[in-house]
Amino acid sequence: MVERDRDESGRPRNTRPRDALGRPLPKGSDGVPRIADDLELPAARSLAYAQSLLDRGLAFTAHEVLEAAWKNGPVIERPLWQGLAQLAVGITHVQRGNLDGAITLLRRGSERLRDATSPAPHSVDIDGLLAWASAMIENLAAGSDVASPRLNPALTLDRPAPGSHRV
């Protein structure tokens, strides 16, 4: 049996380096910097950080930031953060060419966002994200080409990303 990487407390951790799309690289390889599992930022900073990563095409890393916010944030906000993290993983699957996985994660993320408290905290643009995800799912299912600018949806109402809601 293969021994898993573990942190100081014995919890399993994947310490292998990863490429920009989150794919594991051989041990000892140079990869993109990883986000610490215990990252704790105020919600606005997590959203701004994740948006910056999405805008640079680093959806997997954005997912890690959003996942940290989900795991370290208030329980009442978990559906919001889970939904955002799952949308970011959906984008990662598009970038990797796994369209079925992308559709599955975009649907799952949308379901979570629908379960989030209303109105959404932290100016998260739930309606815009749901519209973006729905159009993206439709385009992917139809086999349409999805250009990079469409893979960086605006996470908040006050920060529209280039091409965020154009489909």
Which domains does the chain show, CATH number per domain?
1-34 (no CATH), 43-151 (1.10.3450.10)
**pTM for the full predicted model:** 0.85
Say how far apart CA 144 and CA 141 lie, in whole Å. Answer: 8
pLDDT digits (tens, 9 = 90+) for 4-15: 555 566 655 567
103 beta partners: none
Residues 6+ apart with CB under 8 A from 76: 117
Q: How many CA atoms lie within 13 A of 82 on its CB side?
A: 16
Q: pLDDT tens digits for 19-35?
A: 888 888 888 888 888 88
DSSP designation for 103: H
Confidence label for 148 from pLDDT (cuts 50, 70 and 90): confident
